[in-house]
Amino acid sequence: MDSIRIQGGVALQGKVRIQGSKNAALPILAATLLTGESSLIKNCPRIADVYAMVSLLKGIGCTVNWQENGLCIDASSVNCEELGAEAVTCMRSSLCLLGALIGRCGRISMEHPGGCVIGQRPIDLHIGALRQMGVEFREEEGRLMAEADKLCGAHISLPFPSVGATENVVLAAVLAEGETVLEGAALEPEITALCQYLKNCGAEIEGVGTGRLVIRGGRRLYGTDFPVPADRIVAGTYLFGCIGAGGSVFLEDAPWEEMGAVLELAERMGGRLCISKEGIYVQAPGRPRAVECIETAPYPGFPTDLQSMALAVAALADGESRIKETIFENRFRVVEELRRMGAQIEEQDGSMVLVHGVKSLHGASVEARELRGGAALVVAGLMAQGETTVTGCKFIYRGYENICRDFRELGARVTSA
Ligand code: EPZ
């Protein structure tokens, strides 16, 4: 099951429903710890990162059950004493447990959330912000210990709109004493979803959807039912799959209102879009068009998580495209794999590549090294003539419920092996 085989060169045709958002679900699952009651998180994606978060929540005493329409978490019996012994092995995607557990238990011991192939992924912004709220950090035998006798509200200003740091401040602030003002907060839709969940639980948060959040802490929080919004990055992945391979597809439930920059680029690359409240209909009549410059940016700019998909499509475009990555320092690892399929890509420096579009790509054996680069290789396989085998697919399953099933529903010849 760790490889995916694609017979490319087939235009896509069909309809696919977009799964719930990984990056919205993970902080909301962490936030359930703050209520001490049961919450039903509906439309929760069944992906590896969620399964890992579920085992972490169970490991600290939560009762967690999958139901027909979502995930039920009972956080009434979190045993904070376990935390000393039961270190929370922290993957990057569960870093948001930091703020939630400090809010609930006042302390956490965890391994450093290591970097990954797309970058160092430091946590200095998280630490700096939480320190202002009274959290003390120390290293002990390579682990990060965080403790707070009392969490206090603070006036915090983030020098960069870090998604994770924003989430951790919100999670710590809702139970802190007093008011927290967070300036320079990230604007990603996942932050809005997290704040909406917490407000449904009884939290007092103002400025949701803006860069200035005001959180009045100390409110008792209650369990609630909450639907995870559709995944804008999964929708964008399938959208670029159609732009690259050609055809016409309907992306049911796609959160088009969160995808302005993505839809704008898709049209510049030749897609014809029709938006409805049910989703996005996209037609791609011919070869993708080259785009002079594609630059990633914090929301509402073009999302870094779709940069690799745009790169794969640009590889087949009718001219030169320049792609600039401004969020992560090493998010072009997929270039070497795309070159094995015939792509002509010049790396100008760590943050920019120049893509010379070619008339056709050919199938090859390629390796996924991280989540979104892996998904981009599947997209490239759809566009290429012949057979492509993508290995290292465990990375892809971290964020996509079933990328093979989804692309098969769009008429692609894709099997997992
Ligand atoms: C979240 O990561 C997402 N992950 C990422 O999606 C996404 O690419 C990223 O936001 C940007 O949108 C989840 O939501 C689980 P950041 P996060 O803090 O929170 C630097 C995917 O494919 N930084 O906004 O880690 C950092 O190194 C993943 O689904 C610091 O320097 O992103 C990076 O260069 C990949 N110090 C930049 O900021 C810090 O303390 C953006 O990081 C924190 C971050």
Alpha carbon distance 209, 331 (integer Å): 27
The rounded percent of the chain whose pLDDT value lies above 70 is 94
Q: Indicate the DSSP class of residue 34.
A: G
> Ligand 1 within 6 A of 163 CB?
yes
Q: Give the closest residue (by CA) to ligand 1 atom 6.
A: 305
Q: Output the CA 165–ligand 1 centroid distance in Å.
A: 9
Q: State how far the alpha carbon of 79 is from the alpha carbons of 52, 106, 172, in Å.
A: 19, 12, 18
29 sits in which H/E element: helix 22-31
> Ligand 1 within 6 A of 162 CB?
yes
Residue predicted with more confidence, 272 or 80: 272
Backbone phi and psi for residue 175, each to the nearest 5 degrees, phi listed first:
-105, -5
199 sits in which H/E element: helix 189-200
Structure tokens at 9: 């060169």
Q: How confident is the model at residue 98 (pLDDT cuts 50, 70, 90)?
A: confident
Mention every residue, 6+ apart, whose C-beta is less than 8 A from residue 365.
340, 388, 389, 391
Per the document, the length of the chain is 417
Predicted TM-score (pTM) above 0.75: yes
Q: How confident is the model at residue 115 (pLDDT cuts 50, 70, 90)?
A: low
Mention every residue, 6+ apart, whose C-beta is less than 8 A from residue 122.
115
Each residue of 192-206: pLDDT tens digit? Answer: 999 999 999 999 999
- Per annotation, catalytic residue among 72, 116, 195, 404: 116
> Ligand 1 within 6 A of 122 CB?
yes
Ligand 1 atom at minimal distance to the Cα of residue 304:
8
DSSP line for 394-411: HHHHTT-S-HHHHHHHTT
DSSP line for 148-179: -SS-B--EEE-SS--HHHHHHHHHHHTTSBSE
Q: Best of 121, 231, 309 to mutate for ligand 1, by most ligand atoms within 8 A of CB? A: 121
- Concerning whether 116 is annotated as a catalytic residue, the answer is yes
> Ligand 1 within 6 A of 165 CB?
yes
Q: Residue with structure tokens 């971290």?
A: 398
Return the number of other C-beta atoms located less than 10 Å from residue 417's C-beta: 11
> Ligand 1 within 6 A of 119 CB?
yes
Q: How confident is the model at residue 90 (pLDDT cuts 50, 70, 90)?
A: very low
What is the pLDDT of the chain when averaged over all its residues?
Answer: 93
Q: Output the CA 91–ligand 1 centroid distance in Å.
A: 13
> Ligand 1 within 6 A of 123 CB?
yes
Q: How confident is the model at residue 36 (pLDDT cuts 50, 70, 90)?
A: confident
Q: Give the closest residue (by CA) to ligand 1 atom 1.
A: 163
Query: Bridge-partner residues for 65, per DSSP?
Result: 72
Alpha carbon distance 379, 313 (integer Å): 8
Alpha carbon distance 172, 186 (integer Å): 16
